[in-house]
Amino acid sequence: MRKWITALTILIGLLGLPGPSQAQEVVDRIAARVETDIILLSDIRQLNRYQIFLDGKAQSDADILNRLIDQWIVRNEANVARFPQPSVDDVNRSLERLKRSFSSPEEFQARQKQSGITDEEIRRFLRAQLYLSNYLDTRFRPAIQVDEKAIEDFYRTRVVPRAESRGQTPPTLENARDFIQEALVQQAINEQSDRWLKESRTRVRVEIMLELKPQ
């Protein structure tokens, strides 16, 4: 699940507001303008904390800013299409899956404490991720077709070697078919989303306001 989360790590909303104090003004400097909206340095910091919570490490500020720009593009199109927000039950189920992705409740709590992220922020990130990933799924899944050869190749090159490396008996192709098909569909959605985002970036006015160092 953490891979999936990181993977439609495609996608979290712009959060945070500039504060009144001098210190907050420094923290909340404008990192970029996207059309008539802005991305704040505090938005980057919040996504940084979420990535640390998920994986124990974060991307560079420059990479996170690029993620936020991509998220703006997806969110803007989803909003124009009046795409529905996930329900409370959807968010709750996503939170339970996230908790199960950690080795224990203690690890979940320790990582949360390490990153400094709150329960409310976790739910807010999950809600935003679901909104954007659900939109991309709805947009691209209908056009995706997976042929039998692709399924057989995935089984032979991925499923069987992985099982054998763990000293396990591989599942039959028929038993693994649904899993393989969904994995290939998700891969195709990611690939099409990436191409669409690259094309969309050429049509969106983006002005980078801060020099951020890549890793």
| Each residue's pLDDT expressed in tens, for the chain with a length of 215 residues | 444 444 444 444 333 333 333 444 455 899 999 999 999 999 999 999 999 999 999 999 999 999 999 999 999 999 999 999 999 999 999 999 999 999 999 999 999 999 999 999 999 999 999 999 999 999 999 999 999 999 999 999 999 999 999 999 999 999 999 999 999 999 999 999 999 999 999 999 999 998 887 66
Residues 6 or more apart in contact with residue 49 via CB below 8 angstroms: 58, 115, 116, 117, 121
The ranges assigned to domains in the chain are: 2-208
Give the closest residue to 53 by CA, choosing from 128, 124, 132, 107: 107
CA distance 137 to 85: 14
Query: C-alpha angle with apex 104: 100 to 107, nearest 5 degrees?
Result: 110
Superfamily of domain 2-208: Porin chaperone SurA, peptide-binding domain (1.10.4030.10)
Look up the pTM and report it. Answer: 0.81
